[in-house]
Each structure stands twice: as structure tokens, then as C-alpha cells.
Amino acid sequence: MKPRRLGRLAVLGAAIALAVPAVASANEVTRWNEIAVTTVNGQTPITSAPPAGSIFMAMTQGAVYGAVNAIDRHGRPYLVKRRYPMASTDAAAVTAAFRVLDSLFPGQHAMLQAEYDISLAGIPDGPLKRTGIQVGTAAADAMLAEGHDGRTVIGCTFGSGGAGEWQPLADANGNPLCDPSPWVRDAVPFMVRSATQFRTAGHLDLTSPEYTAEFTEVKNIGSLNSNTRTPEQSHAAAFWQTNPAANYNAIARRLVAERSLGVSDSARLFAMLDLTAADALITTWSDKYARNFWRPITAIRHADIDGNPDTEADPSWIPMFDPSLDPAIGGSGPPLITPPYPEHPSGATAYASASMHALASYFGTDEMSFYATSSRFPGEQRPFNRFSDVTNEILQARIWAGIHFRTADVQSANLGREVERYIHTHYFATQ
């Protein structure tokens, strides 16, 4: 089934449910998905930043799916070509997850080994268990051999200071804020052919009427002291400044529990979700550094050099996402700042679009009642009735936050959709 196109924007200021979430019954796939999210997000920024985290989640869930799929053949072979019909899917799943995470994060070995021992203890001994461990090991080894982990420390990319060119901002001490994981732009994709296969059309021409309109829009509604942004919009913008891997995987775990999905179905769901998200983020980061386009804060403060007589510079302009707003808007979590990497395309919107289209493809419908959470506002449950409503709200939220032009978000939503469509058609569609 083809993924659904973007629906209409969710009603702003949707009611917030504060009920304590029901306890979800876990299978070994969901248990290790939660372990993976916790492990990945507990690392340094070079690993836990959203684009990097998406890769490590994809490596884990891809290996789990490859192992389970080698036993039950839910779809075309992935990582493990040989079929093992007489093996424990539980043993295969936990072994694949453990071995990938243990290799990626050796400093977490003691914790991961303890969790692995607990999982294995719950699986009956015998040839099915032993073969499952063998299959899980093969899938993990195959995933690790593909070379997706390209972690390296790379310094800031500095532009010339010319019109339209991204420039890093300074922190409180005057040091440049740098992308913690620029290596993602060169990471090996999982399922798309290359990082440029779904490159966007690119940002608008600085002298075009369309750019003028988007410049004016974000200058007004994205300002720290905007007179047009509503409190509900401000809250939504801050709500989505949360870790997407943790959020979207948690949504998937709740849907697994609500529908009592087993190990095989869960493995397929998380693979669709995380492999799609990772390829969308690799594509996005490759695109970002190919464009190297400036953020609204730079564009508005330096509009006097953009060659457009209809854009007026405001050297003192501050976006909504500014540390000075943190105490006023409340909550906790990632700081409200202009992200330290180029503007076009939008990583948050691409991540949301790819993930929500993957969920819609898995369940065969865009219409689903669920809620999302945020590390900034613990305990808040933001309700939705369509997967596409999440993408549409985030698309708007990045403009309300003053950190993106509309074109970047719209093209990113399309990018996520196209990446998901390709992956679903070529790897996960019913055989």
C-alpha cells in the first residue's frame, strides 16, 4: 500500500491529556527497542544527536528484523539470506540487538550483558534457542559490516559570510556552536541507493517574491516577541523540541502493545520505522551541507546583503527559539536554540514525515488515534487522530520557532514521504 500524502494541519492547541499511560505489555523486540533508545540517547552528542541516533537505532532494529525475517520470512531476505525455520525468534531478536548495541557502545557492556542474560534466561534451552542465537549473531555481524557508523569529530563548516550562506552562531562564551554529528552527511544509507537519490529542489532564490513572503512570515511569527504567534503555537513549537527517536519509537511500542503484536510483526514495524528515518536523515544531512543555506536569524539580521529590496534587515532580531525563553515557557529538555547546522532541508520535518509515513504504511491507514510525548513537558500527552497530523504540526512548529523557512519544511516533508515510499515498495511491500 502506498503511504498516504500529507493531511491537513492538526487543530492548533489540541487538548492535552494528562492521564497516566497504561502499562504496555512488552515482547522481546519492544523490550530491546526501549533498551536501544535508552542506550543511544545516553551517549555524547556525537552519538545521541537526532541524525546520529537515527543511524544507531536503524542498525539495531535492522539487525533485529534481519534475524527474525530469516526465521519466519515476513519479507524479502535482509542481512541473512539463508532461512532458518527451526529457530527461536526471541533468541534471534535479542541476540541481534545485544550484539549491535554492545559493539557500538562498549562502555555500556555491563548493562547490556545483564539485560541480555535476563532475556536469554526467559527462553527455553534447546536447539531452537541455540539456532536463534546463531541467526541473531549473523544478522548483527552483517549489519556491523555494512559500515553505517561513521562517527568522527569534524570541526565547524564556516561560510564566507556571503548572502545566503550559513554561519555558525556563538555560544555564551563566544565559541561557535557546531554540528555534533556532521559525519551523517557521508554515512552509508541502509536501503535507498544513495544519499542524493531524493535530494530536494533546494531553497528559494533570495530575490524572488516567494522568498520575500517566507522571510516576512518567519520574521513576524517566529520572532521571540511575536505579536502574531499564539500561546498554543509557542507551546507546540517547544513541545517538539524533543528527541524524535525516543518519541516515535515510544509511539510504535504503544501501538504494538495496544494491538498485541508478536515478535515477528514488531520486528517488521520497528525496521520500517527506524530504517526509513535513518535514510531520510542521511539524505537530509547530505542535502544540508550541499546547500549550506543560512538560517532565518542570519537572513533577517543581514538582509541588507541579500540583494532583495523587499526584505528589511533587523540586526537585533531574535527567534522564539532562544535560551532566554526557556524559563518563561517552562519544562525541561534540549535547549531552545537555533540548530547549529545549515537550514535547508529541515531534519525534524524529514524525520517526522519518514516515520509517520512508515507507521501509516505498516498499519495500512493514516487514520489512527495515538498520543505523542515530549521530554520538555514530562507527563503531557499530545493526542492525534492521523499520523500525518504529526508531520504537519512539526512543519508549522519549526516556522513558529523562528528556525526554518517554509520551503525547507515543505520539501523535507516530501523528502521523507519519497524515501519511505521507495523503501516500502522495494523492501516491505507484501511479497
Q: What's the confidence (pLDDT) of residue 21?
A: 34
Cα distance between residue 163 and residue 92, in whole Å: 54
Percent of residues, the chain, with pLDDT higher than 70: 94
- Phi, psi angles (nearest 5°) of residue 391: -60, -45
pLDDT digits (tens, 9 = 90+) for 325-372: 878 887 777 789 999 999 999 999 999 999 999 999 999 999 999 999
Residue 25 pLDDT > 60: no
* Average pLDDT over every residue of 131-159: 92
Residue 13 pLDDT > 60: no
Q: Is residue 4 part of a domain?
A: no
Residue 171 pLDDT > 90: no
- Phi, psi angles (nearest 5°) of residue 5: -75, 165
Q: Is residue 304 part of a domain?
A: yes
* Average pLDDT over every residue of 393-412: 98
* Average pLDDT over every residue of 1-7: 36
* Average pLDDT over every residue of 120-127: 98
Q: Is residue 8 part of a domain?
A: no
Cα distance between residue 315 and residue 317, in whole Å: 6
Q: What's the confidence (pLDDT) of residue 327?
A: 80
Residue 55 pLDDT > 50: yes
Q: What's the confidence (pLDDT) of residue 115?
A: 98
> Which residues lie below 8 Å from residue 276, measured CB to CB, with a gap of 6+?
191, 354, 355, 357, 358, 416, 419, 420, 423, 424
C-alpha cell at 375: 521530554
Domain range for residue 42?
28-428
Do 400 and 392 contact (CB within 8 A), yes or no?
no
User: Side-chain half-sphere of 195: how many Cα atoms within 13 Å?
Assistant: 19
For the chain, give the mean pLDDT. 92
- Based on the structure, what is the number of domains in the chain? 1
Cα distance between residue 244 and residue 351, in whole Å: 7
Q: Is residue 242 part of a domain?
A: yes
Residue 313 pLDDT > 80: yes
Number of H helices, E strands in the chain: 15, 2
Residue 4 pLDDT > 80: no
The pTM of the full predicted model, rounded to 2 decimals, is 0.92
Q: Is residue 6 part of a domain?
A: no
Cα distance between residue 400 and residue 338, in whole Å: 12
Which CATH number is 413's domain given?
A: 1.10.606.20
Which is it for the CA torsion 261, 32, 279, 176, positive or negative? positive
Q: Is residue 3 part of a domain?
A: no
Q: Is residue 175 part of a domain?
A: yes
* Average pLDDT over every residue of 370-386: 96
Q: Is residue 17 part of a domain?
A: no
Q: What's the confidence (pLDDT) of residue 102?
A: 98
Do 68 and 43 contact (CB within 8 A), yes or no?
no
Tracing cell 531478536 back to the chain, one arrives at: 93
